[in-house]
């Protein structure tokens, strides 16, 4: 067995440099180690083995040296004469290592029985409205112990309840207990605000006092609340407000003993200076407890994990990898660094899989194929020929070709559901997407004389569900379809309300506050089993995240779907999640017009769902690829193959 190479660090009087000693000959021969040391200090000289402190924080510098040396198999040692700064650093390192090991054991359900029972009893007394299931209880206990942790559980696992469980325990500790917290601050998308308020009432049996730092509160009012330092039961901050309020939020956190929660925390994954990420990381060190919640921690790659763990444990780099190294791991599933990464972060997060929830069964009905009318078929076939024929043999690796294909795909999807919507786009045509005059006339004739076949099939399913005493949610991919379907059902005597809105993209904007509050009111009404609202029509792009609809609705109808598998599965989870009563069966209906792009979408979604669920259920950290996104090259190829099969085009 190879003996570890012993290294000592000393900090001479004046703290101008850190001196490396011990087995220096091994270190001088180690070129990779020398490169690591030069990254830490560009002026590093292997002859002197000194690392300049300059204007850097000594603790940060020691931590960087510790990480670099340990990765290369060097063992550090220090003695009583090492100096107070070094001794404090190594004492803290030892304490954090012991803490991390205990957190790891708790995560793996190796808990102190008496301590766990005391935690459980505290929850029985302090959150009377909820009885946590075993994995929720373990997650809440792990969070209460560590105070700084992530939860990567799937949608519907009850992450909000887990936070309230740990918060209730910590809040009810004596105020002189170092783990005590007295305030809860949640940063999340606007759509998450109402669920946090509702779950508070469900857990604690009372409505919370709430400060919503959103567009309904003026900037001066927000700042006055934060500077007063007198917290409501629940302080809710939108990501869009985070940057402009970060200094005031920091002051608020400094005055209170707060737990700071990032909900849908994948929104701070940007490691290139994104405003949301920068603001969140700035606030981390001001909070007594830090929590990260997201079911998709690494949607694009392992580098997405960096900010999440930097928020939980600022300046510690608990992953022991830099952003560029994490990104490089995406190149191969067999990268030898991945197991080390997962072992490094294991103590600091928990994850509940879909299979762990033991949900009641799902009745996913076979795809229902709808026959188009002769006029609708003629319109669709002509449009398909116009758009798809030119894609055969094209170079889909070319970005401009793919962009053009995406636009055509959207038109085909709209035409399959209701070709009339194409008239609006035709009014301002793109030269490449313009429609011949004779086709425009056919579409106008269709709009005057016919109802789309899928609309009629959808109405029949809605009527059967209502007759059976069920509420139903109808999902549409396009807002235009949503609005048209609402009018069609109303003419048939079926009252429905729509859920959609401007979901913010990137980091530039918030959605309209009036839309948000209208949507919250509709969701509350729909979730009431006694309400007269029985039908809701929704758009997954705006409603698939942070919203629960399972309290009174157990039936969903997909009038149309896009190629985005993650969005599709999220929408299904709105009504199939933890909290369903025993024996409740969740039913899904899916419609498609025969011999159209609808069938291609179904084929691709089935394939993506299978791959996605395999990743979600088998992987410690779910890592998805771009093939699961909207309109990838493989989706376009599948459309072309289906067209060729039907038409025998060469």
pLDDT digits (tens, 9 = 90+) for 142-171: 999 999 999 999 888 999 999 999 999 999
Tokens of 539: 């758009």
The tens digit of pLDDT for each residue in 503-527 reads: 343 444 455 566 666 888 899 999 9
Longest distance between any two alpha carbons in the chain, whole Å: 93
Q: How far apart are the first and last CA of the chain?
A: 66
Determine which helix (DSSP H) or strand (DSSP E) holds 234, and give its type and residue range.
Answer: strand 234-238
Least confident of 70-79, 214-223, 316-325, 352-361: 70-79
Co-location of 390 and 327 in the same domain: no
Cβ contacts of residue 614 below 8 Å, gap of 6+? none
Residue 176: CB atoms within 10 A of its CB come to 6
**Same domain membership, residue 502 and residue 405:** no
Q: Is 622 helix (H, G, I), strand (E, B) or coil?
A: coil
Distances (CA, A) of 409 to 209, 433, 461: 48, 11, 27
pLDDT digits (tens, 9 = 90+) for 476-485: 999 999 999 9
Confirm if 517 and 536 have CB atoms less than 8 A apart: no
Res 508: pLDDT: 47
Domain boundary among 37, 67, 82: 82
- Which candidate, 500, 490, 408, 409, places its Cα nearest to that of 455? 490
Prediction pTM value: 0.85
- Domain identity same for 455 and 445: no
Instruction: Name, in order, each residue with C-beta under 8 angstroms of 115's C-beta and a sequence gap of 6 or more.
Output: none
Same domain assignment for residues 443 and 465: no
Cβ density class 215-225: b for 16+ within 10 Å, e for less = bebeeeebbeb
- Rounded mean pLDDT, 192-212: 95
Strands 17-22 and 5-10: antiparallel
What CATH number should be reported for the domain holding residue 527? 3.40.50.300
Measured in degrees and rounded to the nearest 5, phi and psi for residue 262 equal: -105, 110
pLDDT of residue 503: 39
For residue 224, give both structure tokens: 């006055």
Query: CA 209, 232, 206 angle in degrees (round to 5)?
Result: 30
Torsion angle, alpha carbons of 132, 136, 139, 145, to 10: 0
Residues 40 and 119 in one domain: no
Where is the domain boundary, 82, 97, 130? 82
Give residue 210's pLDDT band: very low, low, confident or very high (50, 70, 90).
very high
Q: In which domain, by residue range, is 267 found? A: 112-357
Same domain membership, residue 169 and residue 116: yes
Query: Cα dist. 487→413, 491, 578 in Å?
Result: 20, 6, 34
With respect to residue 89, please indicate whether it lies within any of the assigned structural domains.
Answer: no
Rounded to whole angstroms, the Cα distance separating 9 from 138 reads: 40
Are both 431 and 463 inside the same structural domain? no
What is the number of structural domains in the chain?
A: 4
Inter-CA distances, 68 with 61, 73, 94, Å = 11, 9, 17
Report the candidate in 625, 586, 470, 453 with the shortest Cα–Cα distance to residue 536: 470
């Amino acid at each position: 067995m190879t003996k570890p190479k012993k290294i000592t660090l000393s900090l001479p009087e004046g703290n101008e440099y850190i001196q490396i000693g011990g087995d220096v000959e091994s270190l001088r021969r180690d070129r990779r180690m020398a490169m690591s040391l030069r990254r830490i200090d560009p002026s590093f000289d292997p002859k002197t083995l000194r690392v300049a402190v300059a204007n850097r924080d000594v603790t940060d510098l020691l931590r960087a040296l510790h990480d670099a040396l340990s990765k290369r198999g060097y063992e550090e040692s220090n003695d009583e004469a090492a100096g107070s700064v070094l001794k404090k650093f190594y004492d803290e390192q030892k304490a954090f290592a012991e803490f991390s090991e205990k957190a790891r054991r708790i995560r793996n359900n190796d808990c102190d029985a008496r301590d766990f029972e005391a935690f459980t009893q505290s929850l029985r007394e302090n959150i009377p409205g909820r009885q946590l299931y075993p994995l929720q209880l373990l997650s809440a206990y792990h969070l209460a112990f560590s105070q700084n942790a992530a939860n990567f559980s799937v949608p519907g696992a009850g992450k909000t309840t887990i936070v309230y469980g740990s918060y209730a325990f910590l809040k009810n500790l004596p105020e002189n207990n170092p783990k005590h917290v007295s305030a809860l601050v949640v940063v999340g998308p606007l759509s998450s605000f109402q669920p946090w308020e509702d779950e508070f009432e469900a857990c604690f049996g009372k409505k919370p006092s709430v400060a919503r730092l959103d567009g309904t509160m003026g900037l001066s009012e927000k700042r006055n609340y934060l500077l007063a330092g007198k917290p409501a039961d629940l302080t809710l901050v939108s990501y869009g407000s985070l940057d402009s309020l970060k200094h005031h939020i920091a002051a608020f956190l400094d005055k209170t003993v707060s737990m700071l929660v990032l909900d849908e925390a994948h929104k701070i994954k940007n490691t290139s200076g994104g405003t949301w990420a920068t603001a969140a990381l700035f606030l981390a060190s001001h909070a007594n407890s830090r929590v990260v919640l997201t079911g998709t921690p690494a949607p694009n790659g392992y580098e997405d994990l960096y900010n999440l763990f930097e928020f939980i444990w600022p300046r510690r780099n608990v992953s022991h990898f830099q952003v560029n190294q994490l990104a490089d791991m995406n190149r191969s599933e067999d990268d030898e660094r991945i197991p080390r990464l997962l072992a490094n972060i294991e103590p600091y997060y928990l994850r509940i899989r879909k299979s762990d929830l033991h949900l009641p069964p799902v009745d996913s009905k076979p795809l229902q194929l709808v026959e188009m009318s002769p006029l609708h078929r003629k319109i669709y076939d002509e449009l398909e020929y116009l758009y798809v024929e030119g894609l055969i043999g094209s170079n889909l690796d070319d970005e401009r070709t793919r962009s053009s294909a995406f636009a055509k795909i959207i038109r085909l999807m709209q035409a399959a559901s209701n070709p009339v919507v194409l008239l609006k786009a035709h009014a301002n045509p793109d030269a490449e997407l313009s429609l011949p005059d004779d086709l425009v006339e056919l579409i106008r004739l269709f709009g005057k004389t016919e109802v789309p076949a899928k609309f009629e099939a959808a109405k029949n399913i809605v009527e059967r569900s209502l007759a059976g005493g069920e509420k139903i949610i109808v999902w549409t991919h396009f807002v235009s379809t949503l609005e048209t379907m609402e009018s069609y059902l109303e003419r048939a005597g079926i009252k429905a309300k729509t859920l959609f809105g401007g979901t913010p993209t990137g980091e530039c904007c918030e959605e309209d506050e009036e839309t948000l509050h209208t949507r919250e009111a509709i969701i509350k009404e729909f979730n009431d089993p006694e309400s007269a609202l029985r039908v809701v029509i929704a758009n997954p792009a705006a409603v698939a995240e942070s919203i629960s609809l399972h309290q009174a609705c157990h039936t969903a109808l997909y009038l149309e779907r896009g190629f985005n598998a993650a969005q599709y599965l999220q929408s299904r989870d709105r009504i199939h999640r933890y909290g369903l009563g025993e024996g409740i069966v969740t039913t899904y209906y899916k419609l498609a017009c025969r011999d159209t792009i609808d069938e291609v979408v179904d084929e691709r979604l089935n394939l993506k769902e299978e791959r996605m669920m395999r990743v979600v259920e088998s992987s410690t950290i779910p890592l998805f690829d771009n093939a699961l996104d909207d309109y990838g090259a493989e989706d376009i190829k599948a459309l072309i193959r289906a067209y060729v099969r039907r038409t025998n085009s060469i």
